[in-house]
Amino acid sequence: MAHNVLTSTFYLDRDSKFEKEKPYELRFPPPKGFPARNCTWSKYEQIKVTDIRGNEDDYNLDQNGFQLCRLKTSLSAEDFGNNQKVEQIYLKEVAQCLKQVLKAYRVLVFDYSIRKSIPGYPISDGKGNQYETPATIVHIDTTEAWTEHMNAIYEEKLDGLCAGPRYLYVNVWKPIRGPVKKWPLMLCDWNTYEPKTDVISRDLVFGDGEVESTVAYYSPDHTYYYLSDQYEDEVWMMVQSDSTTGKGVLHTAFDSPLTTMDDPERESIEVRCMVYF
């Protein structure tokens, strides 16, 4: 049974200064007197999120920018705390899954993150966390320009073995434990946002480099979907950049009104891949 919900989420505030300077956020302690970020966010209420439970096959990468697939890993939930097992076993399972489902020529896995919510999230408990917490702003993991930069690096390293008419940057998102009750993922149909007016690139700056991502301005046209009670073998594939369209899928975790205090915290792993055809 589908459970459509209303929720809230955060969008970037429009600011005329972005005509001259790029949004940024420092992921390290900034020098004294230097702002850690130059952007602000506002919370928007009454965001409708449609549950695709029972209609999973109606959505696919080419049409919507996202789709569900089945991935039965050989790892237990506890194994995801072992980086060696994740890197030697699960990442290979992800690559093989993408090759089979998408009929891809080559899949290069280049990054992954494990996220876990904490009691009371998004209010901080003041303690350091071993894992990242769920993202609560509407975003895309990359930009068209950044993906082109990454592709050029891989092409050079592999002597052109990646070459093809089309490549995708894909995020593969899986619950470590299911069903997901707290902070499920909602995804925006990429036909419902306008790349020229609804999004802007942002620099995430780390101590050893930077990553360019995409953040969004609010629009009532954005149409969101999720999967209620998502289980461990139900895996989201979502395009972050498509070399043929330049588009990716806006997404974020959201606070479901169906969640209860007794529900377990969310644990998930996302794997970032370059997919070549």
pTM: 0.94
Q: What is the pLDDT of residue 127?
A: 62
Q: What is the pLDDT of residues 31-48, one digit of tens each?
A: 888 999 999 999 999 999
C-beta of residue 161 within 8 angstroms of C-beta of residue 211: no
Q: What is the pLDDT of residues 37-76, one digit of tens each?
A: 999 999 999 999 999 999 999 999 999 999 999 999 999 9
Going through 121-261 in order, the beta strands assigned E by DSSP cover 139-140, 167-175, 185-188, 199-206, 209-216, 224-226, 234-242, 251-253
Distance CA 200, CA 36 (A): 18
243, HSE (Cβ side, Cα atoms, 13 Å): 17
Of 23, 255, 228, 5, the C-alpha closest to 123 is: 255
CATH number assigned to the domain comprising residue 97: 2.60.120
Distance CA 141, CA 251 (A): 9
Q: What is the pLDDT along the chain (277 residues), one digit of tens a residue?
A: 789 999 999 999 999 999 999 999 998 898 888 999 999 999 999 999 999 999 999 999 999 999 999 999 999 999 999 999 999 999 999 999 999 999 999 999 999 999 999 988 876 555 667 788 999 999 999 999 999 999 998 888 887 777 677 899 999 999 999 999 999 999 999 999 999 999 999 999 998 888 999 999 999 999 999 999 999 999 999 999 999 998 999 999 999 999 998 999 999 999 999 999 9
Which token pair is 198? 């609804």
Domain count, the chain: 1
By the 10 Å C-beta count (0-12 exposed, 13-18 middle, 19+ buried), 99 is classed as: middle
Distance CA 195, CA 216 (A): 9
Alpha carbon distances (Å) from 238 to 106, 163, 171: 17, 22, 5
Q: Which domain holds residue 186?
A: 5-276
Pairing mode, strands 66-70 and 234-242 = antiparallel
Q: What is the pLDDT of residue 123?
A: 66
Q: What is the pLDDT of residue 128?
A: 61
